[in-house]
Amino acid sequence: MQRTQLQEIQQHIEDSDAILITAGAGMGVDSGLPDFRGNEGFWREYPAIQHLGLAFEEIANPKYFTLNPPLAWAFYGHRLNLYRETTPHRGFEILLDLVKKKDDNYFIVTSNVDGQFQKAGFSHEKIVEVHGTIHHFQCSENCTEEIWEADKESIEIDMQKFEAQTIPLCKNCGNIARPNILMFGDLSWIGDRTDAQEDRFYKWFNTLKLDGKKLTIIELGAGKAIPTIRNYGEKFAKKSKYFKLLRINPRDFYVSQYIGWSFPYGALEGLQKIEGVK
């Protein structure tokens, strides 16, 4: 990475009227969170699931809340507990300082379900969680369209057996509850909360475009396996000649020079390098 390109990136960020942050699983790696990259990476985090011969795409399926609730809630309950205990890394602080300089003219679009942006101090009114969130629950049987906050739920897990000792139940009908997360093969996810988030985002984004504002899109840790976030960033960058995409990724960092810049670093290191450019 040439210093002149770093300075070009910094200049565009400084000149921008607004910031759009797009983030995938790699954003949480510097906080110690797993990104489940490939089966080996997934099984390293959950050896009990490896013994069952299940890939991430198989266990992350709503059918297990019917077939094996203790297993389903061991997996999601462990993740919920982990996310609650995790402190967002300093990269979140760098981004928060950046958007404050733009008078909070920003939005976040993320495929992460961990709630780390809210925990770091970003407004929940300026976040789109495209796959939902683990911090809200819904009924696994869809008895109603209601979702509810899970802040009072406590899930104990026997890690030796990898079984949940407590199973969250639907507040309305008493059946098994599940996280309000879009899973693989999921026909019962209630997306109303995410739909409302997207409505707020597109009102903001379309105003930027109509007013000819300058925007920097900072994409962090978005891989190719599930390219939702990468596709968002590239699509948004093409909407205006004043929009540029900065893709920060240690592996899958390529982006066309016509829409932005490639930055071959992890999320925290990349943000620190940008912060350090004078």
CATH of the domain at 254: 3.40.50.1220
User: Tokens representing 88?
Assistant: 């967002």
Residues 253 and 235 in one domain: yes
The whole-angstrom distance between residue 226's C-alpha and the CA centroid of its chain comes to 12
Q: Do 5 and 48 fall within a single domain?
A: no
pLDDT of 223 reads 87
Supply the pLDDT for residue 183. 97
Q: Which residues in the chain land under pLDDT 50?
A: 278
In a domain, 128, yes or no: no
* Residue 23 sits in the same domain as residue 49: no
- Write down the H helix ranges in 149-238: 192-210, 228-237
- Chain centroid, CA 10 distance in Å: 24
Residue 126 in any domain: the answer is no
Domain count, the chain: 2
- CA-based torsion, 87, 60, 135, 226: positive or negative: positive
What is the dihedral angle through the alpha carbons of 20, 21, 22, 23, rounded to the nearest 10 degrees?
Answer: 180
Per-residue pLDDT at 278: 42
Task: Tell me what pLDDT residue 47 has.
Answer: 87
What is residue 38's predicted lDDT score, i.e. its pLDDT?
66
One domain, residues 16 and 98: yes
pLDDT at 50: 87
Q: What is the pLDDT of residue 186?
A: 97
Residue 94: which domain range?
1-31+89-117+189-278
Would you state the pLDDT for residue 161? 93
